[in-house]
Amino acid sequence: MAFKSSRLIRTVFSATAITIFSLSVGAQSQKPLEFGVGLFQPDKEKNDATYKPLAEYLSKKLGRDVKLRTVDTWEGLAKSLASGETDLALMGPWGYVLANHNAGAEVVSTILYQGKPEYFAIMITSPKSGINKIEDLKGKTFAFGDKGSTSGFLIPSHEFFKRGIEPERFFGKVINTKHQAIQTQVTRGELDAGTDYNRNRDAMIEQGLIKAADSKIIWTSAPLPNDAFAVSANLAKDKAFTEKLAAALEEIGAAMKSQPNLLPNNYTGFVSKDNKYYAPIKDAALAMGWLQPKK
């Protein structure tokens, strides 16, 4: 009897080991998840280094390889998520709305900045420029962010639209460039003014890339939903996966107590959100005709 019990235990153990091995091999054989991240840091190398711990954390939590790559324009990141080139993305709100509206991408969570899921678009100039309000910008050189940027393009464009201002006629010269370049060129006096967002300005001051005294805010938007952590339309269909991902992101706040480098300075975790949270961004785009209502 003891012999039979021993043999039965060995048989069960062997079957369990085979099952675990099979699951392990199956997980390893799955295609790596392509994780696209916007250019939140001054350059690609620093951006990759900053978000590598997050990619590694997600890989462990999800039981799948997560391959990180920085996409250097918000428009490019929206297109890559919409096309399925990337599976997961940490992206600006306007980029997310584009990917959702055009290709069914879905938000899972919103990143928290100093505990809050919101931020602000701003317009900045040099204190020496003599510019104090939007009306003072007439005939000046002005920089927007790239066309996939919420704070750099959509929201300030909507503000000008509401005021009846046509940028190409109102400004002396208009360019599109990266947020970091806008701050740098404005503080150097190479541009009269431009768009940005409060988190980027704060980070550049904190890192010593610009001086607070050289950058003046002349306009601030209403609160905007923070960056979205979104999945492609294909992954959005897998509810078990998206629930697992949302749970992993929700746990980051607590995990940062022992792993503070999981997110950049001032970012404190994620909170689960759905598509309704990004309605103000979609409404602005619809008002300007940049999105067409779905029938």
CA–centroid distance for 252 within its chain: 16
Q: Region 258-271: what's the mean pLDDT?
A: 95
The CATH classification number of 31-117+227-287 equals: 3.40.190.10
Please state, rounded to an integer, the average pLDDT across all residues of the chain. Answer: 89
Q: Region 149-153: what's the mean pLDDT?
A: 94
Encode 217-253: b = buried (16+ Cβ within 10 Å), e = exposed.
ebbebeebbbbbbbbbbebbeeeebbeebbebbeebb
Q: pLDDT category, 27, cuts 50, 70, 90?
A: very low
List pLDDT tens digits, range 104-146. Answer: 999 999 999 999 999 999 999 999 999 999 999 999 999 999 8
Q: Is the pLDDT of residue 29 over 70?
A: no
Q: pLDDT category, 75, cuts 50, 70, 90?
A: confident
The CATH classification number of 121-221 equals: 3.40.190.10
Q: For position 8, what pLDDT does the model report? A: 38
Q: Is the pLDDT of residue 238 over 50?
A: yes
Q: Is the pLDDT of residue 6 over 60?
A: no
Does 145 or 30 have the greater pLDDT score? Answer: 145
Taking a C-beta distance cutoff of 8 angstroms, is the pair 88, 230 a contact? yes
- The segment(s) of the chain belonging to CATH 3.40.190.10 are 31-117+227-287, 121-221
